[in-house]
Structure 1
Amino acid sequence: MLKIIGALLVFVSLFAISPRVSAQSEALKSALREVSASVNNESGDKALKKVINFLSLQIDDLTKSLNAIKSISAEQEAIRQDFLDFLNESAKYLDGLVVGSGSDIKALANEINNWRENAYNQRVNKITEFLMVLQTKSLLKTADTRLVKIGSDLARLRDLKILKDDKAQFLFNESNILLVAAGDLTNQAELQLSTTTIIMDERKPGVRDLVFKALTKIQQAYKRFIEISGIILPRP
């Protein structure tokens, strides 16, 4: 579980520079530059096809991730369906593009770039944040279940007079505080997602910042779980 949380933290940190940062890829930007620098339509064709292929793969991955979500609220289901409709329309747009056969490659590249910057990137950014929040909620639910189990085990061991060290209880209390804080941060992130009209306030953390902080606290709680296990089940 710590590895999963760690991987998510890396992912969020890479994309959490600012809520205004679009979900872009260096490979995609490189391909677009290649189109602009092309001296003939043949090399431009290849570069532009790379762009379209990348975007198509991204749409496919996001669609699969959204469809894989289970047990969500009616409001979240409406948001997911809206995102799926957008991705479906985006896929149709890309499928309808004709590269080659005398087409103006640079004009087509500019059209795709304008569409990507003015329509596509912002929605993909929101989809990514939506998936981040739901993944964090799932991890938090698992951590809360683990906390309850540990609390039950500690109580049983105290009743049996087996556990006399107060450190385990101290770590348990710390874990509880961390997970409560993680839950609050996740709720704040979820609230931002459900807000249709958002006034940008640079003083307040964005969805990705909130998710990163929540994941960090969940990770810290799991480290305390491990410490508790070391106290309950000391190595010989």
Structure 2
Amino acid sequence: MTTKSPKPLFNRVVVKLSGEALMGPDTHGLHAPTVQRMAGDLKAAAELGVQVAVVVGGGNFFRGLQGADKGIERARADSIGMLATVMNALAMEGALEKIGQPARVLSAVAMPSLCQPYSRQAALAHLVKRRVIILAGGTGNPFFTTDTGAALRAAELSCDAVMKATHVDGIYSADPKKDPAATRFERLSHDEAIARKLQVMDTAAFALARDNGIPIVVFSVDEPGAIPSALLGKGRATYVMP
């Protein structure tokens, strides 16, 4: 007697990966074993039959807010941060293709000699062909985080959820690394997350997801297999639901 394979919770998702997640134990840049591990996770997610879009941050190279603190005007600093996300996206595309998973980078900042410019039609066409798409350049505009970019792309591409990959296993009342008394939430509404000023994503991202009825799943990406496990409803995570 054969047992049924577990069914994923969602059919099409945006996975939000921070730039910091890609630097592994290093202090900056890309940690090759970590990039390869995450590529393997994304391939495993695609093999579940899930259509996977990935939004990458750039904080392992440059963050707009940090640049603004150093005297670079915010709009220019954010533009530099967008370029950092393209570097991460190209690295992830290469890691995916190396293990046999078709992938495409689409950038909100047009760089046709490096990757395909982002358009909704192109992104959907790649997803239907079971390619993992890596969405670089944030929203293409300054003053918006890549978290907001993830919520925007999820709404635009009719995704079932945003999978927010972090270094903690969900959303806590405070930073659990700084406050041992911090309590973990199993489930929240978008309004609760906004009202409590929980910092795992910015308010604009929460509001955009809320207004479009998109769940957000917050989970730790530090262990191998974390992304497919979260898609199957296994392991620890916080679910922010409409």
**Interval containing the TM-score (normalised by the shorter chain):** under 0.3
Q: Which protein is bigger by CA-based radius of gyration?
A: 1
Name the TM-score, length of structure 2 as normaliser: 0.26
Name the TM-score, length of structure 1 as normaliser: 0.27
| Larger relative contact order, structure 1 or 2 (CA cutoff 8 Å, min sep 6) | 1
More strand by share: 2
